[in-house]
Amino acid sequence: MAKANESEAVVACTNLTKTYEGGMVALRDLTLNIERGMSFGLLGENGAGKSTLVRLLMGFILPTKGELVVLGERKVSRAHPRIGYLHERPYVELRFTGRKYLEYMAQISGLWGSLNSRRVSKTLELVELSAASEEKLAAYSKGMLQRLCIAQALLTDPEFLILDEPTSGLDPYSQWKVRQIIAELRGRGKTLLICSHYLAEVETLCDTVGILQRGQLIRSGTVKELIHTQDAVEIILRDEQEAGELVKRLHIGESVLETERNLLKIRASAQQEILAALVRAEVAIQRLNPVSRTLEEVYIQTTRAETNRKAEASTIP
């Protein structure tokens, strides 16, 4: 990903490395930027380095080497008050009501008096918990508790929001409710970092993604670029022409990946050649589409390819 100016980037990492005691390298030479207003999805299997990066961004730990700037601050802990953070396994005190809990957390964040009340009411409304605000948290469902923790992360109206596995372990309805809240925040222009194992969720909620594997960023880009990057094009023939018969007649089988009734799937590199052959044969075309992939397919293909590449490299004498 191209490096943005620090003034434009909420997060700017350059050759960021974190090595833990014992020599375990959790992040290696990570360079990425999260620009203001971007919704960035961070993908990777367990142990890939996602949690380490989040801890670095929050200032909980320090990098071993490299440069990290968060919200313009090189001393990352100074940016902490301007960041909202949803932990992967959030904890709440169940003896509170929803409103009292948020009021208490708002006080810890430096919000008092009428400002405290306004922010608590506003965040309760955003996560649709106003009606349940006087109930004890012990009576809340897991989905309600997760929405309450999102409200807590939003109390200070942060510039940057980190959501670590925001829908993990929730039932389908609760997942949908949380995604609606995140979509609302995205629509308001909030800068988001979303760590999630649900790739369909990331594909829906994020503009840009980065894939981590064993501490290294192996691929990044906009969701649109990644899911449309495939060496294949579909050609739909008009008038229900049989694609299989046409391939035999025009002798274009070498460039055809698949045929089904009036559909031809061809290599993108052969598109001009195939279209020229169809025009010469006066074959009518109804539609031509680049073949898209899901983000899940991109992720699996990328991570497996990188694993195979490293395995092959390790066997070279």
The model's pLDDT over 183-235, given as tens digits with 9 standing for 90+, comes to 999 999 999 999 999 999 999 999 999 999 999 999 999 998 887 656 678 88
Which residue, 227, 249, 276, sits at the end of a domain?
227
Give bridge partners of residue 233 from the DSSP assignment: 266, 290
pLDDT in the model for residue 6: 45
pLDDT in the model for residue 287: 84
Residues 6+ apart with CB under 8 A from 127: 147, 148, 150, 151, 181
Q: What domain count does the chain have? A: 2
User: Which amino acid, one-letter code, is at 84?
Assistant: G
254 and 161 housed in the same domain: no
Where do the H-state alpha helices sit in the chain?
Answer: 50-57, 98-108, 113-126, 142-153, 172-187, 199-205, 223-228, 243-250, 271-280, 295-315
Percent of the chain at pLDDT above 90? 67
Which residue, 191, 206, 227, sits at the end of a domain?
227
pLDDT at residue 295 above 80? yes
Q: Name which of 56, 54, 49, 58 is nearest 28 in CA terms.
A: 49
pLDDT in tens, 125-182: 999 999 999 999 999 999 999 999 999 999 999 999 999 999 999 999 999 999 999 9
The mean of the pLDDT values for the chain is: 90
Domain extent at residue 136: 9-227
Q: Cα separation of 102 and 149, whole Å?
A: 9
pLDDT at residue 3 above 70? no
CATH number of the domain residue 273 falls in: 3.30.70.980
Band the pLDDT of 268: cuts 50, 70, 90.
confident
201 and 236 housed in the same domain: no
138 and 59 housed in the same domain: yes
Pairwise pLDDT comparison (287 vs 180), residue with the higher score: 180
Q: Are 3 and 67 in contact (CB under 8 A)?
A: no
pLDDT in the model for residue 7: 53
DSSP 239: G
171 and 263 housed in the same domain: no
Q: Tell me the mean pLDDT in the region 96-109.
A: 97
215 and 235 housed in the same domain: no
126 and 270 housed in the same domain: no
Q: Tell me the mean pLDDT in the region 19-29.
A: 95
Residue 115 lies in a domain: yes
